[in-house]
């Protein structure tokens, strides 16, 4: 586990300086014994995206559009503050990595001839089924 004043590496070549990260420790919620009531093991890790110099303008725009001006991650899975800090840092890095990958542009495709034929055939069958359920009209005699 890196010390609190160590920068957070998102991916090689992309590092968030330690001064951009803000950690807060609070008691973990839920039931528990004497240990749970006294120790602040829950970690809240915040990153202000508007002031962090790590990201380019395009990256910052994408991140702010996705998360808002501040990205907040909470970890209270473990009983240890040390392990929760490591978990929160990993989660923050993973969320930033996932958000910065640009979505693949959609390439429009046309339905195949076979799929069009199957679709029309199923519509025809459904129509015939529904017509067979109707009450016979007086002109059909």
Reported as a single tens digit per residue, the pLDDT across 29-86 is: 766 666 666 788 899 999 999 888 988 898 899 999 999 999 999 998 888 889 999 9
Instruction: Sketch out the chain's domains with CATH numbers.
Output: 8-100 (3.30.160.20)
Residues in Cβ contact with 37 at an 8 Å cutoff, skipping those fewer than 6 apart:
27
pTM: 0.68
Dig out the tokens for 25 from the structure: 């420790």
Q: What is the pLDDT of residue 110?
A: 95
Instruction: Note whether 27 and 40 are within 8 A (CB).
Output: yes
Dig out the tokens for 19 from the structure: 């001064």
| Averaged pLDDT, 85-95 | 94
Instruction: Note whether 42 and 8 are within 8 A (CB).
Output: no
Instruction: Note whether 100 and 59 are within 8 A (CB).
Output: yes
Decide which of 27 and 128 is more confident.
Answer: 128
Tell me the pLDDT band of 138, cut-offs 50, 70 and 90.
confident
């Amino acid at each position: 586990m890196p010390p609190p004043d160590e920068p957070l590496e998102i991916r090689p070549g992309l590092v968030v300086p330690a001064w951009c990260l803000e950690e807060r420790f609070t008691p973990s919620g839920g039931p528990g014994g004497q240990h749970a009531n006294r120790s602040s093991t829950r970690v809240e890790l915040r990153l202000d995206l508007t002031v962090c110099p790590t990201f380019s303008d395009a990256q910052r725009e994408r991140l702010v559009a996705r998360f808002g001006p501040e990205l907040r991650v909470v970890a209270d899975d473990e009983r240890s503050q040390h392990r929760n800090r490591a978990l929160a840092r990993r989660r923050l890095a993973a969320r930033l990595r996932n958000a910065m990958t640009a979505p693949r542009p959609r390439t429009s495709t046309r339905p195949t001839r076979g799929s069009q034929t199957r679709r029309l055939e199923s519509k025809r069958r459904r129509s015939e089924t529904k017509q067979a359920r109707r009450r016979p009209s007086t002109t059909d005699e």
